[in-house]
Amino acid sequence: GAFIKGYVGAGTITDGQLNDEDFPAGTAYSNTFSNAIGNLSYATVDLGYTFLKNVFGMTGIFIGYNYYAPNVNIYNCTQVAGSDVCVPSNELTNLLVLSEFDQWNSVRLGLNSEFSLSNQISLSSDVAYLPYVRFSGLDMHNARALVGPETANRGDGAMLEAILNYQISNFWNIGLGGRYWMWNMRNGQVLFDFLGDTDELITEPARFNADRYGVFLQVNYHPKQSTLIQSESAPSWKGIFIGGSVGGVWSHSYWSDPFASTPAAPGYFNVSGFGDDIYATGALGGVELRLSGQTGQLVYGVAANISGANIRGENTLFSGLSGINGQEISNYLMTIVARVGTPLNRSLFYINAGRAVLHTEYNINANNNVVTLGVGSQTIKRWGWTGGVGVEYAFNDSWSTNVEYDYVRIPNANLSFPAVELNNDQPISAYKNMNLFKVGFNYKVFA
C-alpha cells in the first residue's frame, strides 16, 4: 500500500575547519587555515508504495523532496603554504573572515526496506537517488567587502540511511542508525561583487559539492503489538536469481606527485605536497545475476553485477606547479564475486569477495592565474578486487530484498597527459579506494 514518511532536523557546527586555496594568490600557490562554526537545518518528505510485503518485512519505492541548508562562519586566518594572504596572521585573530550561506533542494527517487532479523532485532534501510539538485549560496568575504552569489541548476547525488532496531517491549524499540548524504553539481557560476565598485563585477564558472555523514540514536513507539517469528518459516536459498539495486558511493583516490616546489614571485615559492588526493561521491544503480546452492546451513554461489554510476570529485594536484585542478568521473562498475552465507529465520547473512572493474575518466586543468600549461584527459578501465557483507530477506519463495556494503580497491593506474606541458619524464599514477552501500530486490527465476 501507499505510505508517507519524513523528518526535520537542525543542529550546530561547533568544531569545523576551512582550507582555502588560491591558484595563485598574488605571489604563489596559497593555502590558508581557519576555524569554522555555524548551524544547519534539513527536511525530507517522501511518498511511496510498498510492492513487497509480509508480516515481518516490506520493500517499497518512493519519490520525495529534500531541503538542506548549512550556514558557516569562518574566523581567523593562518597561512600554511606559499603566499602572504594571511601574513601577519595576528591581524586576523578573532575576525569574521568569511561567511557562507548555502541551500540545496533535491528530488528523491529510491528504495526502502524493513525486515525482522529475529523477534527483537530488525533492520531498516533507505537509499535515494537525487536526479535533480538545485544549489544557491552566498559567499561573503568580510575582510575585503566582497560578496559572491553562487548558483547551480544541474546536479545529482544520493542519500543513504540504515537503522538497526532493538525491541525493548511490545510497543517500544530503540534504534542505532547512520546516514550519508552527498550532492554534486555539474555546472554553476559565482559572481564577484566588490561592493561599491560596479566596474569590478566578475562572473566565473564554478562547481559545488557537499557531503555529510553521521550516526544517531532514536526511540520509536508502535501502537501495534509485534508478531513472533516462527523458525519453521525458513525459505530455500537455492536457485537462479535476478535483481536490481540502488546505492551510493564514497571514494578516495591518491595521486603520485613527482613535482618539487618551484619559485614564484621574488621571495616566494609554490610549496609542493598539498592536495594530490581526490574525494569523490555519487549514485549508482545496477542489475545482478546470481546462482546459489544450499547444503544445510551453508548457502554458496557466484554473482555478477553491473552498475551505471555518476561518481565525481575534484581537488588540487601538484601544488609545487602553482596548483593544478584534478577531476575524476567514474561511469560504471562491474563485479564478479563468490558468495557464502548462513540463514537465520527468513534472513540470509552473507559475505562476498571477487574481482571488480571500474571505468574512470581522469581530467586535469593546468591553466590558472599565472601559468597556461593546457588541459588533458584520459579514460581507463582498471581491474581491482572487492569484498563485502550483506543480509537478504525472503518475503516468499520467489521475492527477496537485500542490504549490502562493499569495499572496492582499484590499484595504481599509470596516467599520461601529453597535451599538458608537464615534464612527461616524470611518471604519474593514481589508485582508488571505494565504499558502496546499496539496497536491492531479487526474483528467483529457477529453483
Quote the CA–CA distance of 324 and 316 in Å, as a whole number: 6
Mean pLDDT of 254-276: 90
Mean pLDDT of 198-207: 83
- pLDDT, position 264: 84
Among the listed residues 118, 220, 246, 211, the one whose alpha carbon sits nearest the alpha carbon of residue 163: 220
Greatest Cα pair distance, the chain, in angstroms, is 80
- pLDDT, position 144: 78
Query: Of the candidates 229, 254, 276, which is a domain's last residue?
Result: 229
From the number of C-beta atoms within 10 Å of its C-beta (0-12, 13-18, 19+), residue 40 rates as middle
Quote the CA–CA distance of 405 and 387 in Å, as a whole number: 9
Map residue 319 onto helix, strand or coil: helix
* Alpha helical stretches, state H, 88-183: none
Query: Of the candidates 168, 201, 229, which is a domain's last residue?
Result: 229
* 364-377 per-position pLDDT tens digit: 999 887 788 999 99
Question: Is cis: bond before 88, omega within 30 of 0?
Answer: yes
Quote the CA–CA distance of 265 and 269 in Å, as a whole number: 7
Residues 236 and 262 in one domain: yes
Which CATH number does the domain housing residue 6 bear?
2.40.128.90
Query: Which DSSP letter does residue 229 get?
Result: P
pLDDT band at 412 (very low <50, low <70, confident <90, very high): very high
Residues 205 and 313 in one domain: no
Residues 204 and 252 in one domain: no
Among the listed residues 337, 335, 341, 301, the one whose alpha carbon sits nearest the alpha carbon of residue 444: 301
The yes-or-no verdict on residue 232 having pLDDT over 60 is: no
Which CATH number does the domain housing residue 430 bear?
2.40.160.20
* 71-92 per-position pLDDT tens digit: 999 998 888 887 777 766 556 6
- Domain span at residue 257 reads 232-446
- 109 close to 159: Cβ distance less than 8 angstroms: no
- pLDDT, position 49: 98
Q: For the chain, how many structural domains are there in total?
A: 2
- pLDDT, position 22: 80
Residues 216 and 300 in one domain: no
Region of poorest pLDDT, from 133-142, 195-204, 296-305? 195-204
Residues 329 and 192 in one domain: no
Mean pLDDT of 198-214: 88
* 282-297 per-position pLDDT tens digit: 999 999 999 999 999 9
Quote the CA–CA distance of 279 and 436 in Å, as a whole number: 14
Residues 360 and 253 in one domain: yes
Residue 237 cell numbers, joined:
536459498
∠ CA 217-107-389, nearest 5°, is 50
Map residue 403 onto helix, strand or coil: strand
Query: Of the candidates 177, 203, 229, which is a domain's last residue?
Result: 229
- pLDDT, position 127: 98
Quote the CA–CA distance of 314 and 20 in Å, as a whole number: 14
Map residue 386 onto helix, strand or coil: strand
Q: How far is CA 443 from the centre of its chain?
A: 29
Q: What percentage of the chain reaches a pLDDT higher than 70?
A: 95
The yes-or-no verdict on residue 176 having pLDDT over 70 is: yes
Residues 411 and 324 in one domain: yes
∠ CA 240-245-251, nearest 5°, is 125
Instruction: Report pTM.
Output: 0.93
Residues 210 and 284 in one domain: no
Residues 321 and 373 in one domain: yes
* 4-37 per-position pLDDT tens digit: 999 999 999 998 999 888 876 667 888 888 999 9
- pLDDT, position 211: 95
